[in-house]
Structure 1
């Protein structure tokens, strides 16, 4: 399934190439949403997370909620726990086992069903990682170095020196996506350059090694999320590493404490205006998402009662929304054996898929001997 870029309007011709790419991806995403509803069985979705800490509300409303939606619509879900990629911007993988198991707990708690989704870990699938070698031969050093996402990740790297793994990150992601021949990847706009590398690698492999015009790999589509932007409690980007996010696994008291300390402003009258009041508006939006209502209505209901009333509203809404998720998580956490079983069976399924793909790749390259 390939992206249909269509034609550009006169207004679009004055927009930068990057912006045009986003516009095209947005149009295609709208088409894909219709196709998913009509024929979900046609889609294999690859998504996942790096196990670097607890998942939080930003993750939930940004991506996790959408994964459950796609699963429930009937798309096939491949959920990658990218443990090798922890090392892209870190010198070592800290508390890796705890973080991997924590991700599985979060997935199960929000409604990812291991009977309908394949949850697997990077390091347990050798055939997936072996695809990285032929894929690297299809992309130039200059193309890797120009990738804007890689540039940003290098700038914010936690490593003493940038590693080769960081540099080859886009090609590694291509292996993650193409090993299972995923044709749909939910991403944010900032991840579009990575996905374009994957599409380029798939296209070049098919052109170089395709037998009689039969492509080995699909060129996967981006499904752009319409996820709202939630700021951290300090008014900056919500992040695991900044202690400014409400973890799905946080207690009610921990949640209340974080929200009490959230940054607001000096205007007592609460309004929803993300452009001029980003911190207040992010809190209003969080309450609205949890209450499933319009953020303007939340702001109007609070009115001139100030930041204290806003934070009380947000705390009640968040704790109420997360209560069933936290209850399920606590129940699953009592049986670590089941968590390992989910990973074992997911790794088994992913390994079978990866080995079949690697065999097909080797055959296409005349490397079966």
Structure 2
């Protein structure tokens, strides 16, 4: 899910287009993902009828300014849900930055950039809530009883934890931290502290949400079986196509291959001029066989309001150069309003971010403290 993690990475079906919020199925999709996709379609219909039924919890680790991949995979979905009337809560998961690294870097500066990116993309602090992990102590107190509801073996089976354990063993110089081992429960605390009942995820992130559902279910069974206290949050599957950087690998700040949202138009031109394609002149949309070309077509089509197939046909035998020119123009024009809003905000960035986070931290604290009070009463730990 998006909460405390970066954008989803599951590739979409190679020959299927889809509307925002209605990702395509994949022929090798797991049964659980298939069920979640069907349920997501039902939820989308319910949102259209009564968005007040849902509170979304989503967010990011502030490891760098947000880039084009974040916009397409997560930010636009958050704004769409907000504009539909859903209560959107965004956690800037600053504590999680040190889950897999020794230093957090200039965290205040990065948090500021992440908040500005959200505001520029359309997140409205009058309708949505942005808060930082470190400002909401009640959320972290909830981790203690929640940790008692899962086993170490269950945590170790979590895909992110398992992958980090393998990576740590390969690195040898740094073992997996205890914070990362408990990351799935920290994520559960994020969601349940504010009573989030809907979490946008990619199919690869369903196991994360299942841990939260397990924590909610076991708490209810143990302490309040007659009248369950926590709702088991549901998944809202998001379009989860990986956005590639100019080098043909997943767009990532750490790889130095990303187009940041705050980049200039000249930076955008240079980015797409460097973008990798292939040696075939005729442009076709074949994601499996031609991933770099397909990536450009998806990006260009998104901002041009067309389909990758149609964009490929319009370029045809003209080749990679004209394709890059078309995509560059579409992205420059598509990002122009966002970048103008961001420049306007940057004139007083410090004050703007402080106000947004002060309001968001206050609301998140009130929600989490209310939850913690209820949990203590249900556990009979009020003396």
Tell me the TM-score normalized by structure 1. 0.93
Measure, in 2, the Cα distance between the counterparts of 1:278 and 1:261.
15
Measure, in 1, the Cα distance between the counterparts of 2:239 and 2:83.
18
1:224 pairs, out of 237, 253, 260, with 237
Gaps of 5+ in 2: 1-26
Measure, in 2, the Cα distance between the counterparts of 1:199 and 1:354.
18
Measure, in 1, the Cα distance between the counterparts of 2:182 and 2:219.
17
Measure, in 1, the Cα distance between the counterparts of 2:258 and 2:42.
33
How far apart are residue 153 of structure 1 and its match? 3.4
* Residue matched to 2:311: 298
How far apart are residue 161 of structure 1 and its match? 2.0
2:52 pairs with 1:41: yes
* Residue matched to 1:352: 366
How far apart are residue 119 of structure 1 and its match? 0.5
Measure, in 2, the Cα distance between the counterparts of 1:226 and 1:80.
20
Secondary structure at 2:115 match in 1: helix
C-alpha contact (below 8 Å) 1:78/1:117 kept by paired residues:
yes
C-alpha contact (below 8 Å) 1:91/1:160 kept by paired residues:
no
Secondary structure at 2:236 match in 1: strand
How far apart are residue 24 of structure 1 and its match? 1.1
Secondary structure at 1:241 match in 2: coil
- After superposition, the C-alpha distances for 1:13-56 in whole angstroms (9 at most, x for unaligned) are xx99x811111111111111111111100000000111000111
Measure, in 2, the Cα distance between the counterparts of 1:117 and 1:228.
26
How far apart are residue 323 of structure 1 and its match? 0.8
- Corresponding pairs, count: 353
* Residue matched to 1:256: 269
How far apart are residue 218 of structure 1 and its match? 0.7
2:183 pairs with 1:169: yes
* Residue matched to 1:70: 81
Measure, in 1, the Cα distance between the counterparts of 2:331 and 2:164.
31
Measure, in 1, the Cα distance between the counterparts of 2:164 and 2:320.
35
Measure, in 2, the Cα distance between the counterparts of 1:156 and 1:91.
15
Q: RMSD across aligned C-alpha pairs, in angstroms?
A: 1.5
2:222 pairs with 1:208: yes
* Residue matched to 2:10: none
Measure, in 1, the Cα distance between the counterparts of 2:306 and 2:165.
39
How far apart are residue 156 of structure 1 and its match? 4.5
Gaps of 5+ in 1: 1-14
Tell me the TM-score normalized by structure 2. 0.89
- After superposition, the C-alpha distances for 1:319-361 in whole angstroms (9 at most, x for unaligned) are 1111110110111111121211110111011101110000000
* Residue matched to 1:98: 109
Measure, in 2, the Cα distance between the counterparts of 1:25 and 1:48.
20
2:341 pairs, out of 321, 324, 328, with 328
How far apart are residue 208 of structure 1 and its match? 0.3
2:162 pairs with 1:148: no
Q: Could you list the structure 1 runs, at least 4 aligned residues long, displaced by more than 6 angstroms after superposition.
A: none
C-alpha contact (below 8 Å) 2:59/2:90 kept by paired residues:
yes
How far apart are residue 129 of structure 1 and its match? 0.7
Measure, in 2, the Cα distance between the counterparts of 1:27 and 1:241.
35
